[in-house]
Amino acid sequence: MIQDFSRNMRLLCSYRPSITLVASDLGIHRSQLNRYLAGGVAPRAPLMRRIGDYFGVEIHELMMPHEDFTELVSLRGIAKETETRDLRRHLDRVLRFSDPRIRKLEGTFFEYYYSMSTPGMVLRSLLGFEMQGDLMTYRRLERIGPIAQPSKRQYRYVGASVMTGDRVFLQDYEVGAGIELTQTILVPDYSQRWSTLHGVKLGVAANSEHLPCAVRVVLERTPPRASVRASLQMCGLFAPDSPDLPKGMLPKIDNCLSGPTVFNATGA
């Protein structure tokens, strides 16, 4: 039984980045963990419970015959859960460094950029930011069509935002098909109390080609006391010469001037 335990432990540890990390997470010395992995000795009950909680298995399961335990790990997707915990740990580290000024984003914004799927047209979308615990989350709503007409092409994204190095980073995914991720890096307008942000968005065109695209983007706060419903009704596609676009918006989202070696957020 102890030999099965050591083999099961070796299997579980193989899903972690290193033996040293496992020992550190369990609060024991690596030499102690190595004795368990080598066989011949098993942990006391309190540590056994910590090991089970750490890897997401029951104590009695740790002592199962190795062949049965291997099948159990496969069926439960424990390896996948372990990878998810690893990713979450890295994300938590990023969040710890997030600038508390990210809270200034709370509220709703119109988002402007040249449409990736409808060339030549400007898309106005709606973003709503809200703090959930220590994380700034947001939702982005898109209507791909003229604002005066009903649109069947509507997309909803959910995501999270962090601020590091005086820049705001947005990451979201489309909740319908669940296959599209977008990333945006923004520069806040500090002189205007975060009423405007500009930057670059990276995504995929929502048409049959699904081409990766990069565009300049501007966020502007919605009018005070405007309801979400009223703001959403103002979203959609606009011709560049539309009088409904804010004055001076087109130069801010122009995608022609850049470089000469990179596509940057501000043009020439």
pLDDT digits (tens, 9 = 90+) for 122-155: 999 999 999 988 789 999 998 887 776 666 678 8
Which tokens belong to 201?
Answer: 């968005």
CB 139 within 8 A of CB 120: no
pTM: 0.67
CB 141 within 8 A of CB 118: no
Burial of 51 (0-12, 13-18, 19+ CB in 10 A): buried
- Mean pLDDT, residues 7-14 taken together: 90
> Which of 37-41, 79-83, 217-221 has the least mean pLDDT?
79-83
* Residue extent(s) of CATH 2.40.128.120 domains in the chain: 100-253
**Which fold, 100-253?**
Lipocalin (2.40.128)
Length of the chain: 268
For residue 95, how many C-alpha atoms fall within 13 Å in the half-sphere facing its CB?
16
Which tokens belong to 211?
Answer: 């081409």
Identify the residue with better confidence: 229 or 40: 229
Tens digit of each residue's pLDDT (9 = 90 or more) over 42-52: 899 999 998 98
In this structure, the dihedral spanned by the alpha carbons of residues 156, 110, 268 and 188, taken in order and rounded to 10 degrees, is -100
May I ask the CATH architecture of the domain 2-96?
Answer: Orthogonal Bundle (1.10)
pLDDT band at 219 (very low <50, low <70, confident <90, very high): very high
What pLDDT sits at residue 268?
Answer: 47
Q: Mean of the per-residue pLDDT values for the chain? A: 86
Q: Decide if pLDDT at 87 tops 80.
A: no
| H or E stretch at 154 | strand 154-164
- Mean pLDDT, residues 243-250 taken together: 94
- Mean pLDDT, residues 152-160 taken together: 85
| DSSP character string of 216-260 | EEEEEEPPTT--HHHHHHT-EEE-TT-TTSPTTHHHHH--S---S
Alpha helices in the chain (DSSP H): 2-13, 19-26, 30-38, 45-55, 59-62, 66-76, 78-96, 228-233, 249-253
Taking CA atoms, 254 is separated from 63, 106, 153, 213, in Å, by 64, 27, 25, 14
In this structure, the dihedral spanned by the alpha carbons of residues 151, 152, 158 and 161, taken in order and rounded to 10 degrees, is -40
* Residue extent(s) of CATH 1.10.260.40 domains in the chain: 2-96
Which tokens belong to 63?
Answer: 């002592």
What gap in Å lies between CA 256 and CA 268, rounded to an integer?
Answer: 9
Q: Is 190 helix (H, G, I), strand (E, B) or coil?
A: helix
